[in-house]
Each structure stands twice: as structure tokens, then as C-alpha cells.
Structure 1
């Protein structure tokens, strides 16, 4: 009986297949959209003009996705899961349509903002639904299935986008979201329960959501600046703003975060630090690895992208392998994950310094294994440790905090690289020195994640 309840076949059995497909498709909207757009945008800019706004197409998506994710639990509570998902998916579809027919870059940015807002809510609610739709024994396997979605997106997204852009138009990379989004809405209507709507009359915390958006915008702007001083000021302003939001939220009538969020003496609070700090440290390799492979090892874009995708593939494989471990083993995996991340980022710096491609690949295996071993169980522990009535808030925050970590980490890595002189590095040797320093400091940034994981599993 245990094998039937907890085996891999259970999540694709008639009882759970619909829920598995629905939640994975909700995550796929975010995963594939990121990879699709990243390869289609340069062609869009060539047609529409406005090259100065190219980076903002990603920035506005990230900012609005984080704002939407932060408020997703409240929307789920007040509208019910089904209605909230349908409304958010509709906003995402509207954004995709506007982007597909855009006649200028400002119109494209409006579409990207709506895409980010809708998908931020969708992804957050899909996470919140995992413990509602599946028993605890299947939760790690659902996370394993979602990690496979990310790996498929890493490989298939650029290929699909390139094919659509070359054979049809860059607009097709946005338009392809329309039928996928429609299928998602149909599945939501069939699978997701209406949920109990809250009768709370408190106002939605618009000011706090706007402050969160402003802080992430400051981080994104800081990552685009050439001046390390101005970038540092942007990051300091963002940190102060986010901390003020967290402090205010603790006494608010309609809180966005669970009780004791980001307190190290609390399982949920420490777990949220892990979810934030691991992507923050790893963002440096996500931003600069492919660039290093192209400019130091003289790889073409495709081969460099394949090496970069080793991390996602390893994440998926390891997540599948550890999805059935015992409850007693899970705290060890939560602690091992950040430790592997420190080792992987440190090895990446060493590999570049030595000019050893095999070590670069091994570093990506270690980084992928760090997430594969720990991410699902870190997330599940946060969900299950949440106080009564706060599980939705804790669960919905997971993809939101993860996105914020990547955004902040990208800006921090940019600050390190700019301070080290990446703009003036005109030779492979000079670039190697800059990126060795960048990856070494990113390895140092991952050490607090180890501390947070230890604090999280100490109870």
C-alpha cells in the first residue's frame, strides 16, 4: 500500500494526473516564457527600435511577477483558488496578446508587465495548492516533476523560440502562450476546487506591494548601472525598503508574510532565508557563465548554452533520485544543499583560474545537485511548519522569494564584476581574472545559506 501512495506512478495515476498536469503547466508558463522571450527579444528590438529599453523587458516582468506573487495568497484567500488562477491567467494572456501585436517597445513593455503580474500570481498559487491537492508523501515527487519542467524549458525554450522567430516571427514567441494559457484555464476549471473565500474586509496592502515593487525595481536599475557606487546605493535602498515592509507586515491587519518571516529562530523564517540566499549566490554563475564560455573558451552560443544547462539537468535528476527518502534523511539533505552550492561556486572560480573545462562542468553538476537534493524538502518543510491559517502565505512566497533572490543576486554579481573591471577586460586573461573574483565572492555569499539551513533544521 505504501508504494501505491508514495511511488512515482501515483502522481500520474487517474486520481492525481489532472492535478499534476495543471500545476506543472502553471510553472511551465513561467519557465518557458522566460527562455522563449530571452531569445526573441533581440529580433523584436531590431524591428521595433528602442534598444535602450531591451533590458527593461526583463526588468518589468520580474518586478510585476514579484509583486503579484507577494499578494497571491491574499487573492487566493479572498477569491478562492479557482477564481484567482483564472483571473491571473487571463491577465497573463492579455499581456501575451499585447506583446504579440505590439507596435513599439513601450507597448511591448506593457505586455511584459501584465505577463509578469499574471504569471507571478499563477506560479505562487500553484505552489500553495501542492499541499492541498497531494498528500505529504507525494509532495517531493511533485517538486521533482516541476524541476523536470524547468530542465525541459532550459533546453527546449531557446530552440522553440529560435525556430518560431526564424520561420514565423518573434511575435510567435509571445503568441504561443495564448493556446497554452487557454489550456491551463480549462484544466483549472476541471481540477482546482473553488476554495473557501474569506469574508475579511481589510484592504489589500497596496502600499506594501508597491514598496516591494519599488525595491525590486531599485535592484534591477542598480544592476544596469556602470557605477559601482550608484549600484551599491540602489541595493542599500532596496534592502532598507524591503526590511521596512517586513517589519510593518508583522503588525498589519492583512499580512503578506507568515508570522516570524525571516527570523532565524523559526523554521519558516530560517527556511525563507535559504530560499532567498541560494538563488542570490547562484545568480552570478547564471548571469556570467555563458558569457565566460563564449569569451574565454571561445564556445559558440549553442555549445555554451548546453554547458550552462548542465545545472538544470542535474537538478532534475537529483530531485528525482532523492524524492523517496525517509523523513529522517530530509533534514540532512536540506543542510547538504547549501554546502554543495558553496563547493560548486568555489570550484567554478578555481576551474576558470586553471582554464579547465571539465572542472567547469563538474561545478555545474555540484550546483545542480545542491538544488536537486534540498530544494523540494526545504520547500515542503516550510509549508508543513507554517502556523495554522498561514500555509498559503508561506507556500505562495516560495517562488516569489526565489525570483527576488535571483534579481538581487544578479545586481550584486554585476556590482562585483563592474568593480573588478569587467568593462575594461579586453582579453581572455583579463576577463578570467574578473570572473574568478566574481565567482569566488559569490561562493562567499552562499555561506549564509548554510547557516540558515542549519538554523532551519536545528528544531
Structure 2
């Protein structure tokens, strides 16, 4: 991949905070920070929101709808970025994300709240793809592991203050203000990244390898609807619940095929397996993260702010793992790094299942989540680096979108099926719902170990 030298510099910058990159780095970091804050905050206060809006039956839908919508945003931003550059898609993404925050904050019913979450997903999905293309266009390839590691470390501060702050605001003021507060911060992040947007707008567009036809958008919409179908199928009672959910799953898989590189669904070595590995990591981690605060709130009686602290543990170790992988020697193969990450993730997720099954101490769950977060942190930046290494200026948007689509679809489908097995196992009545949902997440994590060996172009 040919890297662009930002701001007309005569030589490539050697740091992500070099003068020609510093405001781009700050702005991108801030946007990732806000996305992390919103995700962790909503996960923490979702039990409160679902009770307040009488929407317990739509608990998993409030999460899967966001991830499903992000698939549409990713496709739109990927094609748009390849066609005109990432500046316009990034501006649109920030605007849609802001509207989603306002709708969710103003919601008086669970239905309206889910609409707001859908818009947030649409904006956040487009935002992350556009930022990936910004990195590809403005940062030398030698800085990619560092900038992606910095993106991951953007979870540190919101993980420290997000869950407890969101819990306190929800209890002492109102959960609505958790969303309103982020709106102001988005404007500040947009101001920081504005110089980079102006530069990118001044550059000529590159010839695209993948067309931006309406077909891709239609497929993305079908994927989103199918994921929603899986979630809603889990809310139905009777014999039709599983057939409906499985049918929607098949539709989702078929619809994903045009949005991913050839061979992705069969885990071909190299780029296809790398992209699908990201989906498995997301499936395992995020389907667990959704239920951890719920488990601690319902079974252990912890208040929302305290239950949310376990998310802080995982996010901090995620950031630490990201920083660690950025300091590794260039001689350490990417495949070895992601293999270690997959093993750590599996240990951490399995610990949550064991904790729920045997009703172990909260401290055991916290220790396991620390390990799972480290696995995510070590692996995510390396996967992003591998994907850009396989890309050229003509397909950076497509491949970045495919990576983010696998991430979002993996998480959304896993959360949707997690909700299905949660309900089918009795939900809150006997606590077996938590065990079933976490068992499914453990299966996804163990599968990631097998796929991690296929990120190499050739076997050893």
C-alpha cells in the first residue's frame, strides 16, 4: 500500500503527534473516545433505561439494532470514501451520530429509544470506516500500529469515568442527560479534525476498484434487517422463535457475501480470514459485555455505577494490551500476536461463563474480564494493520468497511442469539439465561483460536 505524506511534507513524519499530524490525531482520538464513552455508558445504564421505558423484552434489540445499523453506515462510508475521499463521509457520520444521541436522549418510549440507537449505529459505523481511510491517506504505514493502538487506548479515559459517571447521572439526575452531554463533545472533536478534513477535500479522488452501486447498500440493509429479525425472534414465545431466528441468520450470512472480500465466509488464508477473525473477536467480547453489568445488577444486587466498573477493568486492560503490541519489535509476526490475543480472549470469556454457572465471586469475573480485555487490546490494532497492508489506495474504503462490517455483524449476530438463548433458558427467573448466553460467547471465543492461525498468507 502506498502511504500518503500528509500536509505536503517533504519527508514522512515519524510520530503520530508530529506537527503535521497532531490535530488529526487529537480529533480522531476524540471521536473514538466519544464512541467508547457512549458504548460503555449505555451498556451500564441499559437496565435502568429498559425498566424506565418498560422495555425489558427489547433489551438485546437496543444493542443489536445499533450494531446492525452500523453495517449500513460502514458500507455507505466505504464506497463514499473510495469515490471522493473520507472527508465528506466523516462529516456526515458525525452529524448522524449527533442526531441519534438527541433522539435517544429525548425518548419517552423504548421504540423511540431504539430509533435513536439505530441512528447512533449508522453514524458510528460510518465514522470508524472514514477514520480508517483518513489513517490510510494521511499516516505512513510505519505509524499504523501506533495510531491504531492509540485508537484502542482511547477507551482508557471513558472506561475509567464512563460507567460510574453514567450510573451516577442516571441515578441522581436522569439517564437522558448521559446522551445530551456527549452532543457537546462531538462538536469539539469535529473542530479538532477540521484541518485534516480541509486537506483531504483539496485532494483529487482516486480511481476506485469497487463500485459504489446501490446493490451494496441494499445488501447492507438486508443484513441489518436480518440481525433485527434474529433479535425479535428471541422475543417471541413458542415453536416459531428458533426457526425465525435461524432463517434470519441464513439471510444475514448470504447478504454479507457481497460486502466482504472473496473467500471470507470460508475463512481463506490472508485478508479473508483476518477480516472474519475480527468478527469472531467482536462476537465473543461484546456479547459477553452486554450481559455482565446485567448479571451483576440482577444476581449480585450491585447498583448500576458499581456493576459498570467491571467494564472499566476490561477497557483499561484493552488499552494496556494495545500499548504493549505497539512496542513490540517489528520482528514479531502479526500471526503470533493475534494467536496470543485469541488465547487470552478465550480464557477471559470462559471465566465469565464459569462465574455465572457456579455463582463465583465478583472478583473472579473482574479478573477474567481483565484477561479478555488484554486479548482484545493485543489483537485489534494488529488486525487493522494487516487489513491496510493488504489494501491499496483504490480499495482502502472497501476493505476498511469489510473489516468494520465483520466487527459489527459479528457482534450484532452474537448479541441477537445471546438474547435468544437468554430468553429460551428462562431469562431472569432462574438465572440460567446468563449461563446460556455466556456459554455461547465462550464458543465464539474458542473458535477465534482456530481462525487466528489462518491470518498468515501461507501456512508454516
Q: TM-score range by the shorter chain?
A: 0.7 to 0.9
SS at 1:258 equivalent: coil
Please state how far the C-alpha of 1:169 moved relative to its aligned partner: 4.8
Deviations 1:116-162 (A, max 9, x none): 22222112211232232222332222222222222332332234434
1:41-440 matches, within 5 Å, as: 56-101=61-106, 107-162=112-167, 164-165=169-170, 169-192=174-197, 193-194=200-201, 195-197=203-205, 203-205=213-215, 206-225=217-236, 230-247=240-257, 249=258, 256-329=259-332, 330-352=334-356, 353=358, 355-386=360-391, 389-425=394-430, 431=431, 435-436=434-435, 438-440=437-439
Please state how far the C-alpha of 1:350 moved relative to its aligned partner: 3.6
Distance 2:186 2:102 in 1: 11
| TM, length-normalised to structure 2 | 0.83
Cα pair 1:100 1:172 within 8 Å, conserved = yes
Cα pair 2:337 2:378 within 8 Å, conserved = yes
Please state how far the C-alpha of 1:317 moved relative to its aligned partner: 1.0
Aligned CA distance change for structure 1 residues 95 and 243 (closer, same or farther; 3 Å): closer
Aligned CA distance change for structure 1 residues 33 and 302 (closer, same or farther; 3 Å): closer
Structure 1 segments unaligned to the other structure (5+ residues): 250-255, 426-430
Determine whether 1:450 maps to 2:455.
Answer: no
Deviations 1:168-206 (A, max 9, x none): 654433332332222233334311312543677863323
Please state how far the C-alpha of 1:320 moved relative to its aligned partner: 0.8
| TM, length-normalised to structure 1 | 0.83
Structure 2 segments unaligned to the other structure (5+ residues): 1-11
Aligned CA distance change for structure 1 residues 113 and 301 (closer, same or farther; 3 Å): closer
Cα pair 1:26 1:126 within 8 Å, conserved = no
Please state how far the C-alpha of 1:275 moved relative to its aligned partner: 0.6
Cα pair 1:36 1:157 within 8 Å, conserved = yes
Distance 2:110 2:428 in 1: 27
Distance 1:286 1:443 in 2: 12
Cα pair 1:85 1:188 within 8 Å, conserved = no
Distance 2:146 2:106 in 1: 39
Distance 2:353 2:175 in 1: 36
Please state how far the C-alpha of 1:312 moved relative to its aligned partner: 1.5
Please state how far the C-alpha of 1:374 moved relative to its aligned partner: 1.5
Cα pair 2:164 2:308 within 8 Å, conserved = no
Please state how far the C-alpha of 1:367 moved relative to its aligned partner: 0.9
Aligned CA distance change for structure 1 residues 387 and 152 (closer, same or farther; 3 Å): same
Distance 2:450 2:178 in 1: 41
Distance 1:54 1:416 in 2: 13
SS at 1:265 equivalent: coil
Distance 1:296 1:202 in 2: 48
Cα pair 1:11 1:138 within 8 Å, conserved = yes
Cα pair 2:86 2:131 within 8 Å, conserved = no
Q: Give the number of aligned pairs.
A: 440
Aligned CA distance change for structure 1 residues 100 and 419 (closer, same or farther; 3 Å): closer
- Counterpart position of 1:252: none
Aligned CA distance change for structure 1 residues 266 and 116 (closer, same or farther; 3 Å): same
SS at 1:456 equivalent: coil
Cα pair 2:97 2:120 within 8 Å, conserved = yes
Cα pair 2:24 2:195 within 8 Å, conserved = no
Cα pair 1:294 1:300 within 8 Å, conserved = yes
Please state how far the C-alpha of 1:279 moved relative to its aligned partner: 1.9
